[in-house]
A = this chain, B = another copy of it.
Amino acid sequence: MIVFYHTEIAQPTVVLTPEESKHCVKVLRKKVGDIIFLTDGNGIMAEAEITVATPMQCVVQILRREEVAARNIRLHVAVAPTKNMDRMEWFVEKSVEIGIEEISFIICEHSERSKVDLERIQRIAISALKQSQTALLPKIQVINYEYFMKQTSKIECGKYIAWCDQKNSEEFVNEKLTDGEVLMLIGPEGDFSENEISLARSLGFKEIKLGNRRLRTETAALYSCCVVAMKNTIMG
């Protein structure tokens, strides 16, 4: 099964983007009559037959569409971008594979990086989407911590913050997560500032631990994806 990405697959005939066309016809050597799959990254997976196969413009006819069910527990990870961007790109790839609905790169007081190449991140997310054959591309944004936190006060969801020096807080895996959205804050390498932590407390964020190891920023972020993936697959 080979999955391609296209934002508009509602109409009966779809023209793949030049990039996807090249991948389909040149790299994968697909021909007229071959069956491929398309996703809009928005929950729809479509089966399609190739009607025109040129490297610049591959045209397909949609045979059937299927809506992939959303997860019961949906995860929004707000993480401070690491100094080394490779680590964030790795997190984006892996989190799309394992499952994530939204990623916010939050710029914190101790952030060692304030710029994120969203276009590049988007490309990485899309290729992970195709690779893992899922139909859900996470929403991705870059946003200032305080501004982000003010917005969260309007959102109804389970709110958690993981930071290094917390002592007696509970394990995230032991949390009873109800269906709906879970928002997890992961701090920068220099950790959250005191102000940032008290702001989170004042907004009702619960401090939790992600295992008893000291995890890097990107590892902590992915660990929270694994916890939510498991809670979604655990029986009963």
CB-based contact A98/B213 at 8 Å? yes
Assembly CA distance A222 to B90 (angstroms):
13
- Interface-located stretch among A54-62, A116-124, A126-134, A195-203: A126-134
Tally A residues with Cβ within 8 Å of B. Answer: 28
- Chain B residues with CB under 8 A of A90: 90
Q: Mark A197-234, 1 if CB is under 8 A from B, else 0.
A: 00000000000000111111001001100110110011
- Chain B residues with CB under 8 A of A187: none
A149 to chain B, nearest CB (A): 28
Interface residues of A in 57-96 (CB under 8 A from B): 90, 94
CB-based contact A132/B214 at 8 Å? yes
CB-based contact A98/B215 at 8 Å? yes
Listed by A's residue number, 26 A-B pairs whose Cβ atoms lie within 8 Å are: A90-B90, A97-B214, A97-B215, A97-B216, A98-B211, A99-B211, A99-B213, A131-B214, A131-B216, A132-B216, A133-B213, A134-B214, A171-B234, A173-B230, A173-B233, A173-B234, A174-B233, A174-B234, A211-B230, A211-B233, A212-B233, A222-B222, A223-B229, A226-B230, A227-B230, A230-B230
